Amino acid sequence: MMKNTLGDLNNLLFAQLEKLGDDDLNGEEMDAEIRRAEAMAKVGEQIIKTGELQLKAMMHMDEYGYDRKKAVPEMLEVRGGGGELSVEVATGGS
């Protein structure tokens, strides 16, 4: 089950890479896998860019501080637990 983390994205991309290396795929199946891989790469690139933006926002907030009373955009929501902070990457899935 995917949790929509960057680790999940990494695993998904490597699984697709393995499919592309499958010698048992015929020409039509290989073409379909290539199209799927291209689409996955494009979506993955956007997810990574979103993560980079979130990291930059967190670094900015860490450096300059922020008022916890003001709402942080949901996409940049920070969750604390046990003294550690984690940034949730909003990808639209569950």
- At 1-48, the pLDDT tens digits run 557 778 888 899 999 999 999 999 999 999 999 999 999 999 999 988
For residue 94, what pLDDT band results from cuts at 50, 70 and 90?
very low
Side-chain half-sphere of 36: how many Cα atoms within 13 Å? Answer: 15
Helix axes 27-64, 6-20, angle to 10 degrees: 160
Mean pLDDT, rounded, for 57-76:
71
pLDDT of residue 76: 59
Residues 16/36, Cβ–Cβ less than 8 Å: yes
